[in-house]
């Protein structure tokens, strides 16, 4: 049975055919014709008013097509971690559908922590199938903004602090989504690195830092992933909002990178008709209202790219050529999605999707510490689980990525199920009370998390139970509430909330076999770190959270996740906060200045004393052990063209099957400009049986040695001595290989 929307589209096409009875099929309706011919043919048949109509919204999440020509509209959906439930046509309230529940996939910090592009491909394919089944044309995600500060409330939606890692992980996601005839919409382009004053904050950053740190993942999404759409953010860059920014949209995105897709505004991110019309935005959503909760009866006609734009064109104040370009891009998007008769039908809430969510979650969980080989929990007879996050649904909340799930396995339930299969008793104590609410945008968890005991009583009860258990598993962290990990608000400090540190300290004193599992999208302080033998970083894992956590706790899955962010000891150990300079964060008089330049993440923290870092970028342990062998270079020189290959043997020296990530960082020993000491430029993940040795081949091209020369707007490779640093985290380098770059090279994006 066809979908309702597909029946409507087919009916409109029939109208177009009937209107051409006895005539050849219009080119734009013939999908055997080249897409550019179809786009231009359709464009030539449209009136100016029709062209304007298709470049702005007609409802909260849709834009109109051209009914007269049988061209369907576009339906967008949040978000990057699952397909958001439907809302009413012109309101944010729930539509009340009973068939719009989804599978929640792990948040993108968890995906990045797999360090495995294969997982990214599975993720994109799975979520793309869900979006396609719901007949959505544009999936508003993934997000690839760089982790500049651990206070950013939206970091959990992104892929960490390193531009190379983010770039490698975003490409397969996009390709997987678009294989389903659904456009990925990569966001938030660019420099959307804080939620404080996000609508108007003006980012001031030098060109070199912009190109080397904050743009590479977006560039990869366009040039390698072939994304069909991209979303400029709320913030300003150099005085102009991202949706109205000539440098970002025209010069870089559509100029240097040759983007042929659609730039879609964030909801409520447009402010000026003249600027947005001329500076590269193609579609406008949510702007006549504030994008969230108020508007007018004729709101959509009054969008900046609606009646005001049409009037300006008709009066000759704005050129038709810009409108034609926008409309052509939207037509191209429609033909790539809704008008592609060969796109698959997709699927929803399938066993395969739950299996994918569980696999990605298990592979993204990071074992930070495991003294005494406390994990896996194979010998315990009685386990105490403590913490609100063990029983709190995490798929609801956090902003636009909040979901209505078909089901969500809670950590406590997953642990209990796995433990019962092993004959292990599991008991539970709350330990602390955080946020007992469970609602976002009309979706309710239905949980009753009310608690009458005092904070002292909760700790006392947990301590008493801990003394009677073989092992204690504390499950806490943040919780996607305001000022934790959530859109629209940044964290207010670096510590765990709700007095969790006191709970962990008390449990550590009561039982030496304590495992701390924290579910967060950000790093945090660990004043109890030296008192806890085992620490697990769990992220927000989605529908299969409980099962994925249990898989790791009990050894069904050997952890192989690596941190995509640095866990520094204190907030001041991040460059953006090192001096407490308000101009650097959260900004002064509307401007935030990235004075740290390239010193983002490990590029800065690896220069600090070791006691200032709890866990370095790329860190992650396993239940087995590995030996990285002597690497071999395909050549000791690089002439600026072609590639050089590093072959690294890796051996599993333990007694369990497991996976290791070989990381390659490049160091320029002498440069005409200041460069970070080392930068990630290649990595490879390998799975090994006990005793097995396999080779990981890492390939470097000119991009691995280049820096951005802001003066001539060119990438530059200088001749001279480089070092290739090979290890399994940014602070654990096993080998250093010299490499001579033989000649200079300059090139554009």
Q: Check: CB of residue 471 under 8 Å from CB of residue 374.
A: yes
Has residue 112 been placed in a domain? Answer: no
Has residue 161 been placed in a domain? Answer: no
Q: Are residues 332 and 465 in the same domain?
A: no
- Beta-carbon-side half-sphere exposure of residue 466 (alpha carbons within 13 Å): 26
Q: Are residues 645 and 698 in the same domain?
A: yes
Q: What DSSP designation does 84 have?
A: P
Q: Are residues 469 and 321 in the same domain?
A: no
Q: Are residues 372 and 402 in the same domain?
A: yes
H-helix or E-strand spanning residue 442? none
Residue of 100, 162, 266, 573 marked active site: 266
Domain-terminating residue out of 521, 544, 566:
566
Whether the link from the prior residue into 137 is cis, omega within 30° of 0, is no
Spatial CB neighbours of 546, under 8 Å, sequence gap ≥ 6 = 408, 409, 410, 411, 412, 413, 414, 415, 417
Q: Check: CB of residue 76 under 8 Å from CB of residue 62.
A: yes
Has residue 688 been placed in a domain? Answer: yes
For the range 714-719, what are the long-range contacts, defined as Cβ-Cβ under 8 Å and sequence gap of 24 or more?
Answer: 714/746, 714/747, 714/748, 715/746, 715/747, 715/748, 715/749, 716/744, 716/745, 716/746, 717/640, 717/741, 717/744, 717/745, 717/746, 718/668, 718/671, 718/672, 718/744, 719/743, 719/744
What confidence tier does 295 reach under pLDDT thresholds 50, 70, 90? low
The pLDDT assigned to 4 comes to 45
Q: What is the mean pLDDT of residues 719-724?
A: 97
What confidence tier does 79 reach under pLDDT thresholds 50, 70, 90? confident
The pLDDT assigned to 406 comes to 96
456 φ, ψ (degrees, to nearest 5): -65, -40
Does residue 260 have a pLDDT over 60? yes
The pLDDT assigned to 551 comes to 98
The beta-strand segments (E) located in 169-270 are 183-189, 202-204, 229-232, 236-237, 240-241, 262-263
Q: Are residues 558 and 652 in the same domain?
A: no
Domain-terminating residue out of 310, 336, 362:
336
Number of domains the chain contains: 3
The pLDDT assigned to 9 comes to 47
Has residue 519 been placed in a domain? Answer: yes
Has residue 362 been placed in a domain? Answer: yes
Dump pLDDT digits (tens) for 342-354. 999 999 999 999 9
The pLDDT assigned to 298 comes to 76
Domain-terminating residue out of 535, 566, 597:
566
Q: Rounded mean pLDDT of the chain?
A: 95
The token duo for 321 is 């050529």
The pLDDT assigned to 15 comes to 46
Has residue 212 been placed in a domain? Answer: no
Q: What DSSP designation does 56 have?
A: B
Has residue 446 been placed in a domain? Answer: yes
Q: Are residues 432 and 316 in the same domain?
A: no
CA 525 to chain CA centroid, nearest Å: 23
Q: Are residues 431 and 307 in the same domain?
A: no
Report the CATH number at residue 721: 2.60.40.10
Q: Are residues 422 and 547 in the same domain?
A: yes
Of the two residues 22 and 560, the one the predictor is more confident about is 560
Q: What distance in Å separates the CA atoms of residue 61 and residue 76, rounded to the nearest whole number?
A: 5
The pLDDT assigned to 460 comes to 98
Annotation marks residue 266 as catalytic? yes
What confidence tier does 21 reach under pLDDT thresholds 50, 70, 90? low
Percent of the chain with pLDDT over 70: 96
The pLDDT assigned to 20 comes to 54
Spatial CB neighbours of 201, under 8 Å, sequence gap ≥ 6 = 194, 235, 236, 586, 587, 590, 591, 592
Sign of CA dihedral 356, 552, 426, 502: negative
Q: What is the mean pLDDT of residues 714-722?
A: 97
Q: Check: CB of residue 696 under 8 Å from CB of residue 684.
A: yes
Does residue 12 have a pLDDT over 60? no
Number of other CB atoms surrounding residue 3 within 10 Å: 14
Q: How many residues does the chain have?
A: 749
Has residue 503 been placed in a domain? Answer: yes
Q: Are residues 312 and 387 in the same domain?
A: no
Q: Are residues 456 and 497 in the same domain?
A: yes
Dump pLDDT digits (tens) for 454-488. 999 999 999 999 999 999 999 999 999 999 999 99
Buried b / exposed e along 36-51 (16+ C-beta atoms within 10 A): eebbbbbbebbeeebb
Q: Which residue in this structure is represented by tokens 């074992």?
A: 367
Helix (H, G, I), strand (E, B) or coil at 117: helix
What confidence tier does 398 reach under pLDDT thresholds 50, 70, 90? very high
The pLDDT assigned to 640 comes to 83
Q: How far is CA 187 from CA 221, 230, 675, in A?
A: 10, 6, 28
Q: Check: CB of residue 698 under 8 Å from CB of residue 646.
A: yes
Query: Which domain range does residue 555 map to?
Result: 352-566
The beta-strand segments (E) located in 174-228 are 183-189, 202-204
Q: What is the mean pLDDT of residues 663-679?
A: 97
Q: What is the mean pLDDT of residues 376-405?
A: 96
The pLDDT assigned to 22 comes to 57
Q: Are residues 240 and 318 in the same domain?
A: yes
Of the two residues 616 and 22, the one the predictor is more confident about is 616
Dump pLDDT digits (tens) for 29-74. 998 999 999 999 999 999 999 999 999 999 999 999 999 999 999 9
Q: What is the mean pLDDT of residues 629-657?
A: 96
Q: What distance in Å separates the CA atoms of residue 12 and residue 8, rounded to the nearest whole number?
A: 6
Q: Are residues 366 and 288 in the same domain?
A: no
């Amino acid at each position: 049975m066809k979908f309702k929307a597909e029946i409507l589209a087919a009916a409109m096409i029939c109208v177009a055919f009937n209107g051409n009875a006895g005539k050849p099929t219009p080119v734009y309706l013939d999908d055997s014709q080249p897409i550019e011919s179809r786009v231009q043919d359709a464009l030539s048949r449209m009136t100016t008013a029709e062209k304007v109509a298709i470049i702005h919204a007609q409802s909260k999440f849709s834009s109109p097509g051209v009914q007269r020509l049988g061209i369907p509209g576009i339906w967008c959906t949040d978000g990057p971690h699952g397909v958001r439930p439907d809302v009413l046509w012109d309101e944010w309230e729930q539509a009340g559908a009973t068939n719009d529940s989804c599978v929640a996939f792990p948040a993108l910090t968890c995906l990045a922590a797999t360090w495995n592009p294969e997982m990214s491909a599975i993720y994109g394919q799975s979520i793309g199938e869900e979006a396609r089944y719901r007949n959505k044309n544009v999936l508003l995600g993934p997000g690839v903004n760089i982790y500049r500060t651990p206070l950013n409330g939206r970091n959990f939606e992104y892929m960490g602090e390193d531009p190379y890692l983010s770039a490698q992980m975003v490409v397969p996601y996009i390709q997987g989504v678009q294989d389903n005839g659904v456009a990925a919409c990569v966001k938030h382009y660019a420099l959307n690195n804080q939620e404080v004053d996000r609508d108007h904050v003006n980012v001031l950053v030098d060109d070199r830092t912009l190109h080397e740190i904050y743009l590479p993942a977006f560039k990869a999404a366009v040039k390698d992933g072939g994304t069909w759409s991209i979303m400029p953010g709320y913030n300003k860059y150099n005085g102009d909002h991202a949706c109205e920014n000539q440098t970002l949209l025209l010069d870089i995105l559509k100029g240097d990178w040759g983007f042929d897709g659609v730039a879609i505004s964030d909801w409520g991110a447009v402010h000026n008709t003249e600027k947005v019309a001329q500076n590269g935005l193609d579609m406008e959503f949510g702007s006549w209202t504030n994008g969230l909760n108020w508007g007018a009866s004729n709101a959509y006609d009054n969008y900046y790219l609606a009646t005001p734009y049409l009037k300006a064109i008709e009066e000759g104040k704005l050129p038709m050529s810009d409108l034609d370009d926008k409309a052509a891009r939207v037509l191209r998007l429609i033909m790539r999605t809704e008008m592609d008769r060969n796109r698959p039908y997709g699927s929803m809430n399938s066993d395969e999707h739950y299996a994918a969510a569980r696999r990605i979650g298990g592979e993204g969980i990071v074992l930070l510490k495991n003294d005494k080989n406390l994990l896996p929990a194979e010998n315990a007879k009685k386990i105490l689980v403590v913490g609100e996050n063990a029983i709190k649904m995490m798929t609801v909340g956090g902003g636009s990525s909040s979901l209505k799930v078909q089901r969500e396995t809670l950590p406590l339930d997953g642990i209990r199920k796995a433990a019962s299969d092993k004959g292990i008793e599991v008991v539970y104590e709350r330990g602390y009370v955080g946020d007992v609410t469970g609602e976002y945008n009309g979706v309710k968890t239905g949980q009753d998390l009310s608690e009458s005991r005092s904070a002292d009583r909760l700790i006392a009860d947990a301590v008493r139970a801990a003394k009677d258990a073989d092992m204690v598993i504390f499950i806490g962290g943040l919780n996607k509430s305001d000022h934790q990990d959530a859109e629209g608000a940044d964290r207010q400090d670096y510590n765990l909330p709700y007095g969790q540190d006191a709970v962990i300290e008390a449990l550590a004193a009561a039982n030496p076999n304590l495992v701390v599992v924290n579910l967060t999208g950000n790093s945090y302080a660990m004043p109890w770190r030296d008192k806890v033998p085992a620490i697990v970083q769990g992220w927000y894992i989605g529908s299969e959270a409980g099962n994925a956590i249990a898989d790791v706790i009990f050894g069904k899955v050997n952890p192989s996740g690596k941190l995509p962010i640095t866990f520094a000891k204190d907030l001041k150990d991040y460059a953006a906060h090192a001096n407490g300079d308000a101009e650097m964060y959260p900004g002064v008089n509307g401007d935030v200045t990235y004075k740290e330049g390239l010193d983002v993440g490990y590029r800065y923290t690896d220069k600090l004393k070791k006691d200032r870092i709890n866990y370095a970028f790329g860190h992650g342990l396993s239940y087995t052990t590995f030996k990285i062998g002597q690497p071999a270079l395909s050549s000791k020189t690089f002439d600026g063209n072609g590639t050089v290959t590093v072959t690294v043997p890796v051996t599993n020296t333990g007694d369990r099957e497991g996976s290791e990530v070989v990381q390659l960082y490049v160091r320029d020993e002498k440069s005409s400009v200041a460069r970070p000491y080392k930068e990630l430029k290649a990595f490879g993940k390998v799975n090994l049986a006990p005793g097995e040795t396999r080779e990981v081949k890492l390939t470097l091209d000119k991009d691995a040695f280049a820096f951005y020369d802001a003066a001539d707007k060119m990438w530059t490779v200088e001749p001279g001595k480089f070092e290739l640093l090979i290890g399994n985290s940014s602070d654990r380098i096993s080998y250093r290989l010299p490499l001579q770059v033989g000649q200079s090279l300059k090139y554009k994006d």
